[in-house]
Amino acid sequence: MALDRISLSHFRNHRGTELGETRHLNLLFGENGAGKTNVLEAISLLAPGRGLRRAALDEMSGPHGDGGFAIGASLKEQGHESARIGTYVEPDRTGRRLVRINGAEANAGSLGEWLAMGWLTPAMDRLFMDSAGARRRHVDRMALALDPGHARNVSRYETAMRERNKLLETGGDTTWLDAIEAQLSEHGERVAAGRKALIAALTDELTALPDQPFARPLLTYRPGGPTEFEALREDFRRQRARDRAAGRALTGPHRDELEVVMAGSGQAAALCSTGEQKAMLIAMTLAHAVLAAEGRPGVLLLDEVAAHLDPVRRTALFQRLRQGRAQVWLTGTESAPFEDIIEEAAVWRVSNGTVERL
């Protein structure tokens, strides 16, 4: 099963773009600024969340969209359309993204029941050097691709945390605090369980992969506090005075950390070379793509990846992409790095927000 008949209307610099007759491997070529990554971003919005750029909705509308845009695609199985999914923002109503599945309105979370999405972009190259919060968001996005309900658990946890912080700040009634902390602990337990399950599954998949040519990362989930309901609730209750003084909760799943070291050397990922970090990130992305495509159609978006790999690693990457179940979308400024797969791929040239099938 794969995406086909993809349409972009008034999305960034794409006034009206159509991509049909897709394949397992799909390539987008063009100069920098032509709109290649915009196509990937549009596809990423066919999954729950804010897309691969995490941009505000009003940033996505093109100059002629009056604040609105639309993205649609068919899910194709064995050559036949099995579903039509889409997301849009109505003109002059940029505060809300709407979703339709087979013509009926749906919530954005339900997109995750139809499609498992993953991506790797140049902006993610600093993941191991970035903040713990950035790594938590990365973990949650990967967990969402395996469990569509994970985003709901994270959202409810964050909402309950904001309510608790406000009650602590205003000296709210302890009965209300007890109730909010019970909700917080319930959602926190689920968030922690989703993260732990993801890291365990990724570890198993990475263990099955060879160390070369991509350096194999070793992943460890470091909880930011208790992870079970009763222990979480007791911890929140006990730490009220400290958290009130700090203006925020100092323990809990919102303080979780993903620890990554390179197999063999044991070197922390943050201290590894840029090439080693890139290789480990690719290994994680490929392992996640295998897991994500097990239960639902999978789509993997790789923005400007091949150009930064040596020939040996490029060949290995293409071989794994061929063998994987996920449909793959790659971008590049020139065709040379893709010579090994260009004959078997669907290829488009992107220029000033328009696409031409080659």
In a domain, 314, yes or no: yes
Give the residue from 232, 264, 289 where a domain finishes. 289
**Residues 6+ positions from 215 with CB-CB distance below 8 Å:** 262, 263, 264, 272, 276, 279, 280, 283
- pLDDT (0 to 100) of residue 307: 78
Q: How far is CA 248 from CA 133, 146, 160, 241, 268, in A?
A: 15, 30, 12, 11, 29
Residues of the chain with pLDDT under 70: 1, 65, 93-94, 210-211
Q: Whole-structure pTM over 0.85, yes or no? A: yes
CATH number for the domain that contains residue 7: 3.40.50.300
Does residue 140 sit in the same domain as residue 284? yes
Does residue 63 sit in the same domain as residue 166? no
Give the residue from 289, 314, 332 where a domain finishes. 289
- pLDDT (0 to 100) of residue 62: 84
Q: Enter the tokens of residue 77.
A: 């199985």
- pLDDT (0 to 100) of residue 217: 94
Measuring CA to CA, which residue among 358, 150, 335 is closest to residue 253? Answer: 150
Radius of gyration of the chain (CA): 22
- What are 330-357's pLDDT values in tens digits? 999 999 999 999 999 999 999 999 999 9
Output the furthest CA–CA distance in the chain (Å, rounded): 67
- 8 Å CB contact between 47 and 115: yes
Number of structural domains, the chain? 2
Does residue 272 sit in the same domain as residue 154? yes
Q: Enter the tokens of residue 240.
A: 């009220």
- 8 Å CB contact between 331 and 28: yes
Q: How far apart are CA 212 and CA 313, in angstroms?
A: 9
Does residue 55 sit in the same domain as residue 171? no
Q: Enter the tokens of residue 86.
A: 């889409």
Does residue 154 sit in the same domain as residue 261? yes
Does residue 156 sit in the same domain as residue 105? no
For 136, the enclosing helix (H) or strand (E) is: helix 132-146
Does residue 223 sit in the same domain as residue 314? no
In a domain, 281, yes or no: yes
Does residue 243 sit in the same domain as residue 343? no
In a domain, 180, yes or no: yes
Q: How far apart are CA 50 and CA 52, in angstroms?
A: 7
In a domain, 321, yes or no: yes
Does residue 51 sit in the same domain as residue 132? no
In a domain, 259, yes or no: yes
Does residue 142 sit in the same domain as residue 190? yes
Q: How far is CA 101 from CA 57, 61, 258, 270, 292, in A?
A: 20, 21, 35, 41, 21
CATH number for the domain that contains residue 233: 1.20.1050.90
- pLDDT (0 to 100) of residue 211: 63
- pLDDT (0 to 100) of residue 93: 64
In a domain, 120, yes or no: no
- What are 126-185's pLDDT values in tens digits? 999 999 999 999 999 999 988 989 999 999 999 999 999 999 999 888 999 999 999 999
In a domain, 6, yes or no: yes
Q: How far apart are CA 256 and CA 252, in angstroms?
A: 7
Any bridge partners for residue 304, and if so which?
none
- pLDDT (0 to 100) of residue 65: 65
**Three-class SS string for 182-222?**
HHHHHHHHHHHHHHHHHHHHHHHHHHCCCCCCCCCEEEEEE
In a domain, 18, yes or no: yes
For 124, the enclosing helix (H) or strand (E) is: none
Structure letter (DSSP) for residue 90: -
Does residue 306 sit in the same domain as residue 282? no
Give the residue from 289, 318, 333 where a domain finishes. 289
- pLDDT (0 to 100) of residue 79: 72
- 8 Å CB contact between 15 and 353: yes
Q: Which domain holds residue 353?
A: 1-115+296-358
Does residue 73 sit in the same domain as residue 148? no
